[in-house]
């Protein structure tokens, strides 16, 4: 989602295609892979027709923003082949900003040059003289295994989080929206975290717990919650306007 939001308007100036890409990103894992919402789901999310959604997906694929991914992912969740949507991978490198590079002759702290016996030795253009990883730093034999185990544990944690992002599940009463994902969705909807009240969350959960066949990812449920809260806000504003109109007409009747 962050990647899709960061795409410059000049690079993808079609509003409909951009909207489809943003919604598609909701269903992808943290590595941008494995998004397979149906055209009907994207139509509901974007407000566009299914035909328009399919056309925009074709445009995004031709433009290099998305590509067909591992179709076995959809097969694992949907048994009937004729009902499986296409699995897409977001092309995260498309339009990515190049990493900044220091000019030659930078100081030693950048790792771009070194100095031995009073002679300045600049690295070749494009060379990356990066510092040694932490496991190669000088230290005791006891410190190094500990650092290695911490690195492995962090890699395992990131892998598990990536798998969790791909997992679709039915809504349940004890669900709590992840703060990072729901904050991003609320921002897109023009709302803040204060919009999630205990009453509104219970109303949302009650509606979707009653639909056990509806599966979605963690990011997808956060998107639905933001959409639900935005609808509640609109309904509340409409009711206030009706009350004010009724009060105004009543007051005019009294004056008559």
Please write the tens of the pLDDT for every residue from 72-88: 888 888 888 888 899 99
Angle between helices 50-62 and 39-46 (to 10 degrees): 100
Nearest to 23 by CA among 12, 35, 13, 11: 35
Domain with CATH 1.10.8.1180 in the chain: 167-256
What's the chain's length in residues? 256
Higher pLDDT, 150 or 251: 150
Contacts of 128 (CB under 8 A, 6+ apart): 111
Q: Copy the structure tokens of residue 11.
A: 């690079």
In our burial notation (b when 16+ CB lie closer than 10 A, e otherwise), range 185-224 reads bbebbebeeebbeeeebeebbeebeeeeeeebbbbbbbbb
Q: What H or E segment, with its residue span, contains residue 207?
A: helix 198-209
**CA–CA dist 179, 193 (Å, integer):** 9
C-alpha distances (whole Å) from 48 to each of 43, 51, 55, 89, 134 are 5, 8, 11, 21, 50
pTM: 0.39
Burial class (CB in 10 A: 0-12, 13-18, 19+), 86: middle
Q: 167-256 architecture in CATH?
A: Orthogonal Bundle (1.10)
> What pLDDT is stored for residue 129 in this prediction?
45
**Number of neighbours of residue 182 by Cβ within 10 angstroms:** 23
Give pLDDT tens digits for 63-74: 899 999 999 888
The pLDDT value given to residue 74: 83
Selected from 1.10.357.10, 1.10.10.10, 3.30.465.10, 2.170.190.11, the CATH number assigned to the domain covering 1-94 reads: 1.10.10.10
Structure tokens at 92: 């995260």
pLDDT for residue 27 is more than 70: yes
92 falls in which pLDDT band (50, 70, 90)?
confident
Q: Where in the chain is the domain with CATH 1.10.10.10?
A: 1-94
Q: What is the mean pLDDT of residues 110-121?
A: 45
Distance (Å, whole) CA 170 – CA 154: 29
pLDDT digits (tens, 9 = 90+) for 198-211: 999 999 999 999 99
239 or 101, which is more confident: 239
CA distance 232 to 197: 11
Q: For residues 180, 150, 161 and 225, what is the CA-based torsion angle, rounded to 10 degrees? A: -20
């Amino acid at each position: 989602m962050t990647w899709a939001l960061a795409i410059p308007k000049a690079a993808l100036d079609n509003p409909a295609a951009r909207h489809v890409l943003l919604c598609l990103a909701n269903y992808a894992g943290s590595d941008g892979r494995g998004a397979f919402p149906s055209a009907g789901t994207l139509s509901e999310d974007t407000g566009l027709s299914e035909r328009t959604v399919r056309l925009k997906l074709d445009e995004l694929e031709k433009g290099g923003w998305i590509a067909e991914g591992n179709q076995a992912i959809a097969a694992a969740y949907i048994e009937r082949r004729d009902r499986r949507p296409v699995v897409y991978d977001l092309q995260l490198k498309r339009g990515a900003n190049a990493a900044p590079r220091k000019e030659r002759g930078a100081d030693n702290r950048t790792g771009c040059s070194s100095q031995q016996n009073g002679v300045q030795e600049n690295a070749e253009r494009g060379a990356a003289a990066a510092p040694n990883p932490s496991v190669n730093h000088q230290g005791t034999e006891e410190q190094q295994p500990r650092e290695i185990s911490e690195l492995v544990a962090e890699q395992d944690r990131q892998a598990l989080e990536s798998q969790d992002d791909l997992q679709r599940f039915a809504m349940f009463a004890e669900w709590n929206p992840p703060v990072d994902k729901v904050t991003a969705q609320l921002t897109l909807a023009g709302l803040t975290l204060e919009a999630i009240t205990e009453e509104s969350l219970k109303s949302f959960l009650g509606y979707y717990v009653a639909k056990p066949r509806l599966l979605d990812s963690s990011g997808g449920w956060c998107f639905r919650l933001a959409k639900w809260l935005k609808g509640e806000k609109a309904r509340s504003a409409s009711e206030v306007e009706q009350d004010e109109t009724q009060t105004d007409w009543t007051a005019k009747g009294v004056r008559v």
